Amino acid sequence: MPMRSQEQELRQWVARLAEDPANADNPLLAEFQMLAERHGKLLRQFHKIAKISDRLQTETKEITRQQRQFVLMVSHEFRTPLAIIDSASQMLELEPKLPVSAMPRVGKIRNAVQRMLHLIERCLTNDRLGAAKARPMSFDLAAMLTGLVGEIAGAASAHRFEVHGLDRPVPIPGDRDLLAVVFSNLMENAVKYSPNGGTIRLDLSIGDGAAGSPCGSPGGQVTVRIADQGIGVNAADAARLFDKYFRASNAAGTTGAGLGLHLARCIVDTHGGGISVASEPGQGSAFTVRLPVARATTATAAPAAAPVTETSP
């Protein structure tokens, strides 16, 4: 029943009680009238709040729509000049007359371009998560991780990658592109926050889903653990690492927007999994991702990627 109708009915009922001669000397009538008036005021306040809430919801939807349009427009407008800058930088690197002293500066230009493109991809992924759900298809997680390790290790000469459990297909249901964002972000962070190099270890294992865990199911779960020997974070920062735009207190000198880990959690949650971190300052960090495993009857593995040498435990 609408709030205004409730208020009108209450007033009419109180008026009928007051008009009844039997209630003329009732000492409770005045108190009841006072309570009815207060109740009417509360109903009017609730009505105002409801109208404000509806308006805020409408405005929020419009702001979200405009934000998505802005992100798409900016990403499109930025990609073309960034591609031109990157192409010009590559041409400079091939220029035989370029002074040797200029090569590091050209490298910085290309790195800056890649950081901008990386940020654009993160923003677009965030927009996609807000607009649509994941598109699950069965793919080989081990092959995808092998390919990512090969790409990231090739650009991180000061780091040693140690992988375990990637020697056999591991089919899982999920959006391959979105999950690639998760694991590439975790590996890139392991490199970025280990400025002195060291070993980055990736472990892939399969087991039964524990009772009460995000992946607890008859099909079991797959666990990916990525550990580094970097700067680590304290307990207070670790509790907020997956918050949007949050950056750890010791990450001020490192580039980043505080969006990658938030996206990772959103993507993993969308897949019915879970992500956690264990870290200590100066001792490195270990991120663990758990995802449901595809059933053997429906699993169709994707083509295997280029192999990466696997080390023994």
Q: Would you say 266 and 128 are in contact if contact means Cβ atoms under 8 Å apart?
A: no
The pLDDT of residue 201 is 95
Strand ranges of the sheet holding 284-292, from the earlier edge strand across to the other edge: 159-164, 198-207, 221-227, 284-292, 274-280
Residue 32 neighbours by CB under 8 Å, 6+ apart: 14, 17
Distances (CA, A) of 311 to 8, 160, 269: 78, 11, 31
The pLDDT of residue 4 is 55
Whether 94 is in a domain gets the answer yes
Q: Are residues 94 and 204 in the same domain?
A: no
The pLDDT of residue 132 is 46
The pLDDT of residue 86 is 84
The pLDDT of residue 234 is 87
The CATH number covering residue 100 comes to 1.10.287
Whether 12 is in a domain gets the answer yes
User: Which of 114, 132, 150 is the C-terminal boundary of a domain?
Assistant: 132
Q: Are residues 127 and 141 in the same domain?
A: no
User: Which tokens go with 236?
Assistant: 């207070």
Beta strands 221-227 and 171-174, pairing class? unpaired
Whether 241 is in a domain gets the answer yes
Q: Are residues 32 and 73 in the same domain?
A: yes
Beta strands 159-164 and 198-207, pairing class? parallel
Whether 307 is in a domain gets the answer no
Q: Are residues 215 and 285 in the same domain?
A: yes
The pLDDT of residue 51 is 86
Q: Are residues 185 and 236 in the same domain?
A: yes
User: Which tokens go with 192?
Assistant: 């970025």
Q: Which residues of the chain have pLDDT under 70?
A: 1-8, 10-11, 13-14, 18-19, 22-25, 27-29, 67-68, 71-72, 74-76, 115, 118-119, 122-135, 208-219, 252-253, 255-256, 294-313
The pLDDT of residue 222 is 94
Whether 182 is in a domain gets the answer yes
Q: Are residues 101 and 189 in the same domain?
A: no
Q: Are residues 148 and 98 in the same domain?
A: no
Structural domain that includes position 193: 137-292
User: Which of 111, 132, 153 is the C-terminal boundary of a domain?
Assistant: 132
Q: Are residues 114 and 195 in the same domain?
A: no
Q: Are residues 180 and 228 in the same domain?
A: yes
Q: Are residues 58 and 17 in the same domain?
A: yes
| Domains contained in the chain, number | 2
CA dihedral of 202, 239, 134, 131, whole degrees rounded to 10? -140
The CATH number covering residue 244 comes to 3.30.565.10
Whether 80 is in a domain gets the answer yes
Distances (CA, A) of 25 to 17, 21, 33, 208: 12, 8, 14, 75
Whether 309 is in a domain gets the answer no
The pLDDT of residue 166 is 92
